[in-house]
Amino acid sequence: MKKLCAGRGSRKRFSTVNSPIFYLAAVLLLAPVCAGAHNLSGANARFVEGLDGLAVIPYMYLGAKHMVTGYDHLLYLVGVVFFLRRLKDVVLYVSLFTLGHSITLMAGVLLEWNVNAYLIDAVIGLSVAYKAFENINGFKQVFGCALNPRVAVLIFGFFHGLGLATKLQGLSLSPDSLVFNMLSFNVGVEIGQALGLVCVVVILGRWRQHNSFPKQAFAANTALMSLGFMLTGYQLSAYWWA
């Protein structure tokens, strides 16, 4: 009987370790580790600056790689789709985010908007905290009202696009075929975003099947909000000491 009980207990512990919240928590906690890969510096910078003329595939690859390692963008998207159960809602919100960051990514690079990268990244960190606070119904409970979530996603999409633009503005890009190369980079960003979203949506879908999801969801969004504030604090301190 003891062996049987022990076996049941071990299976329970095993299922906990392999539950969706375990993997999502690992993503949330390890996300800042990807910070170095997220920046367009080092080998990535030399690669881009060495390109001359039309380079569709290289820019698409770079855009996808940048988004996949873009911990701040992915954390925000985790918050956006966290409670979205219907595919059409996921598509709608992600489309608004895509529209926002596509506009400012292209405009920021092509029109050479001069914005401070640290401050933009600080706002991006705040967007993560904002969405997580919204997910736990914080705005309505504390302030009695909240911004329309669709409008908020679009607005923060503008800032995320500017964040992408500032990474490219720091490089010596060839002006030859720059428009097409930026379009290629943006397409790559969307590919990377789609790959990341598929993983997140699948994990969340499995997680929602657990009875403990409501309590764990609150804890996960609290952790997400904390990470957003950490990212903001890091960028503001970098701005202060720059």
pLDDT tens profile 172-186: 788 888 899 999 999
Say if residue 30's pLDDT is above 50.
no
pLDDT digits (tens, 9 = 90+) for 128-149: 999 999 999 999 888 888 889 9
Summarised one tens digit per residue, pLDDT across range 43-68 is 766 777 777 778 888 889 888 888 87
**pLDDT of amino acid 40:** 60
In a domain, residue 4? The reply is no
Does the residue 162 lie in any domain?
yes
Give residue 172's pLDDT. Answer: 77
Is residue 6, in this structure, part of any structural domain at all?
A: no
**Domain range for 98:** 21-241
Domain count for the chain: 1
| The three-state (H, E, C) secondary structure of the chain, written as one string | CHHHHHHHHHHHHHHHHCCHHHHHHHHHHHHHHHHHHHCCCCHHHHHHHCCCCCCHHHHHHHHHHHHHCCHHHHHHHHHHHCCCCCHHHHHHHHHHHHHHHHHHHHHHHHCCCCCCHHHHHHHHHHHHHHHHHHHCCHHHHHCCCCCCHHHHHHHHHHHHHHHHHHHHHCCCCCCCCHHHHHHHHHHHHHHHHHHHHHHHHHHHHHHCCCCCHHHHHHHHHHHHHHHHHHHHHHHHHHHHHC
Residue 29 located in a structural domain: yes
Asked if residue 215 belongs to a domain, the reply is yes
Q: Is residue 99 part of a domain?
A: yes
| 138 domain residue, yes or no | yes
Note whether residue 14 is domain-resident: no
pLDDT mean over 8-22: 45
